[in-house]
Amino acid sequence: MTVTYNFKTKSMTAEPKKQIIPFLADYTPHSRFAEAYRTLRTNIQFSVMDKKFRTLLVTSAGAGEGKTSTVANLAYTMAQTGKKILMLDADMRRPTLSKIISTSETPGVTGLLANFFGTMPDQGSLEKMGVGDLARLAALQKKTGRLLLKSAKDSLEVFFVNGKMADIYWRTRPESKALFNVLSLENVISAEQVELAQNRQQDTGQRMEYIAANMGFTNDEALTGALNIYIIEALQVFFNMRAGIFEFNELPESHLELDIAALVDLEQLARQANSGREVLPYLEEKIKEAVICISDNLYLLASGPIPPNPSEILGSSRMEFLLQYLQNMFDVIIIDSPPILPASDALLISPQADGVLLVVKAGLLNRDLVQKAVEQLQLAQANILGVALNDVDISKSGDSSYYHKYYSGYYGEQASGQ
């Protein structure tokens, strides 16, 4: 049984216009076809009761088993409950879901990961590219270098090593918040030591925290406590910058005179300073522009241009970040992935999904091949929710007459009572 999809597409930011979905156009709501997907939806809900469930990966052992039609109809059925559902086409070898929907104006998954997640501007305005975007792009691209930020009030330098924040320097820090003043007020160092450090700074131009560590004025515990406060203050200024300009320069790791991360946990301090949801105005805008609104509560993120290396893309940290961010935008994400036996793509992405549904077309593959697909999913530590048996010939089943009588009678009584 073939279903033809001809959805009209529009930006996610546009007001959704009701579309005629083939799920309803070709079958009545009381048909066995429609009821089968409602039953599948219910069974999935029962399988994940009291558990976090945001992403469902749909795959199959081989090609032509109906996983794409299962994704489309299951997603529509879930959207009928009022949940915001995203279909994500992760089949980057034969993106059927993307081809049946016009996607000419969207970069898709590969466009997002390569063009927007894969480029770091050398300079620009903080009104267009937020500090969260810059830090995230540096992490995704494993950059090593210096990020300089300037506003009307503040100036900061942030250093990254292989994508991780390694150091931060608040160049316009008020004198009252200077490290040696803090250490002196806390009676950690003496006034004489402060004077010696200041003289050395004038001679060498070194930063005070480096001088404190190198001259051995204080023990590591006392210095670490003061540095925690010192760095958190700088991080708070960094994350709160909303206007100004930035400049990024790639530099060798040897440019860093002292890695502050050796004295404090900079990543933890950054999370503490930015305890709210990550603010990514640039990346969020690009993700929203790539998502297509299909109908009320139903959306699609197409695969995009076919890449030469699908496995590397699906197993990348960029793909992991994209899935995590999409979970903040949608109630459920249903992923259409390639079949397992011809390619390893589905196995790479399956650990990131909360559950995996294996679609098996009746009579297509033998049991051994299906079992092999299940074993590979288990080796990938995927959470297999179950198997959906597709394209079953009810007329050849001994229970077909009862099945037809039961559903016809049930819906007949229900219709007459309304």
Mean pLDDT by 10 residues, the chain (418 residues): 38 43 52 74 76 88 85 88 93 85 77 92 94 95 95 94 91 84 72 80 75 68 78 93 95 70 82 84 94 89 89 91 94 93 88 89 78 88 85 57 43 37
Q: Angle at CA 302, nearest 5°, toward 65 and 391?
A: 15
Whole-number pLDDT of residue 12:
53
Describe the crossing of helices 208-215 and 191-204 by its angle, rounded to 10 degrees: 120
Under 8 Å between Cβ of 355 and 53 = yes
Under 8 Å between Cβ of 181 and 190 = no
Whole-number pLDDT of residue 219:
65
Q: Which residue from 299, 304, 284 is spatially nearest to 331, judged by alpha carbons?
A: 299
What SS3 class is residue 150?
A: strand
What does the alpha-carbon distance between residue 194 and residue 212 come to, in Å, rounded to a whole number? 9
What SS3 class is residue 149?
A: strand
Hey, what domains does the chain have and what are their CATH numbers? Answer: 22-106+291-417 (3.40.50.300), 117-278 (no CATH)
Describe the crossing of helices 32-47 and 67-79 by its angle, rounded to 10 degrees: 80
Cβ-in-10-Å burial (0-12, 13-18, 19+) of 376 comes to middle
Under 8 Å between Cβ of 332 and 78 = yes
What does the alpha-carbon distance between residue 322 and residue 318 come to, in Å, rounded to a whole number? 6
Under 8 Å between Cβ of 337 and 88 = no
Q: Which amino acid is at 26?
A: D
Cβ-in-10-Å burial (0-12, 13-18, 19+) of 233 comes to middle
What does the alpha-carbon distance between residue 312 and residue 46 come to, in Å, rounded to a whole number? 34
What does the alpha-carbon distance between residue 125 and residue 147 come to, in Å, rounded to a whole number? 13
The DSSP bridge pattern shows strands 55-60 and 332-336 to be parallel
DSSP 83-139: --EEEEE---SS-HHHHTB--TT--HHHHIIIIISS---SEEETTTS-HHHHHHHHH
